[in-house]
Structures are given as structure tokens and as C-alpha cells.
Amino acid sequence: MVLRYATKICMYFFGIRRGIDYVLRPLMLLVLMAALNAGLKNSIVGTTGAALLLDIGITMLVCVPFVFLVYVIMMHQIKEQRGLISDAQTDDLTGLPNRRAFSRRTERALRTGRHGYFLIIDADHFKRVNDTLGHPSGDLCLQAIADRIKSVLRKDDLIGRIGGEEFGVLLFDRTMEEIQRFSGRLCFPIKVSVPGHNDLLRLTVSAGATEINPNDTLSNLTARADEALIAAKKNGRERMVLWRNRLTQSEVA
């Protein structure tokens, strides 16, 4: 119990928040140390009045360098740790959450029971781009696709790069009409300027989508979205297919 409360106190004082990091929290920690020292002296020696105030002042002056040094070191370590965590969860090329981070966030969202749609989005004929124009051009294309997807999402939707040219998306609180409009905006051709290529490169994407049902798991959603994506590719690409059920399997959205 004591250890738990001590941990909470340390996290409060050493947690990073802009605006109070560099002044307020060190001062609070300094005052806390001085008050504790004064309380101990008062209980042991019985110091009161002016002598007690003088002792508090001396304690604060002596502790200032130590408190600020420890605080700066702790802040540096916390920032470094957060940077490492962010790097481990982010796709370097697109800046999107990577597969692991996206999966973790999706699983957390599924536990809330919120209504939504799960999508797998794949670039059409992407191997052809890498083979003919090279991987640097392919990287530009992936960044353009990521930008397109982000441009049609709402603030609380989830997105991640889950494979080479595959992206995962979780849409929240959409009607069927909104899903159809989303499909049109998503699958509209993307024009990319590639170095050494005179004309703008035309990119398209295909997507498989499935509605989230109660008690769905990420594995179930991925399997259904994959089936719908395959159907989208077979039906001519440049479209989104919505998975329905085992009998009708998929339907063009």
C-alpha cells in the first residue's frame, strides 16, 4: 500500500506536462521536502516559531540544486523512454502506427462495443511500380496513399500500416450512406509526381470492409475484410467491397 502511494506521488511530480514542468513541480517537491524535514524536527526536537521557519528556509536553500538536478535527469530519462516507445510503434516511412500499435488500439476499441467498420486497404498493382520505377518511387507512392487515407478519416478513426502496401482502418459511427461516400473518396485515383517521370503517376487502391459485430475479435474482422478485399481485386480493383455474410459473401459498397 505504502509503495503504491509512493509510486503515484513520484509519477505526479516527475510526469511531464507542458506549462508546469520546469518551475511549479520542482517547487512543489522542494516545499514537500522542507515540510517533511520541519515536521520531523518539530516532532523530535520540538522546534517551533521563528526557529522552525528559519530551518525550513535553510532546508529549501540547501535542497534547491539537488531537487532541480534530479528533476532534470528524470525528465530527460522519461522523454528518452517515450521517444523509444514512439519509435517502436511508428512506421518510419508513413509516420502511421505500425501493425503492432494498430492492432493494440483496435483491440482496445473493440472492447468498448462502439459501432464501426474495419477495413483493409491495398494499393493496386504496386509491385509494378517498384519493378519499373524503383523502390524510392514506391515509397513516395505509399506516402501519397497514406495521405489520401488520412484525408478522408475523422479525428477519432484509427489507421495503421499493417503490411508492405496494406493499411488497416477502423471507422466509427458511420451510416451506410456515409460508407458509400467514404468509398468514393478513398478509391478516387491518386496522382503522384515521381522524379524522372514526366507524367503524373496514377495510383488506385482497393479495400475490403466489414461491419463490426458484438463480440467480434480482430482475427475475425481481418479474415472477413481480407475476403472482401479479394473480391474487390477480382471485380476490377479501384473499389471497396463490403463483406456481408457467408451466402452473399461480399457486396460492392
Q: How far apart are CA 166 and CA 153, in angstroms?
A: 16
> Active-site residue among 80, 107, 165, 238?
165
User: Which cell numbers in the block locate residue 154?
Assistant: 475523422
Instruction: Tell me how far CA of residue 65 lies from CA of 10, 12, 43, 72, 162, in angstroms.
Output: 18, 20, 27, 11, 48
Residues 6+ apart with CB under 8 A from 87: none
Phi, psi of 92, deg, nearest 5: -60, -40
Give the angle subtended at the CA of 228 by the CAs of 230 and 242, to the nearest 5°.
150
Roughly what angle, to the nearest 10 degrees, separates helices 24-44 and 49-89?
140
Report the candidate in 94, 186, 185 with the shortest Cα–Cα distance to residue 140.
94
Overall residue count recorded for the chain in this entry? 253
Indicate if 165 belongs to the active site: yes
Using only C-alpha atoms, what is the Rg of the chain? 28
Q: How many CB atoms lie within 10 A of CB 32?
A: 13
Q: Which residues are part of the catalytic machinery?
A: 165
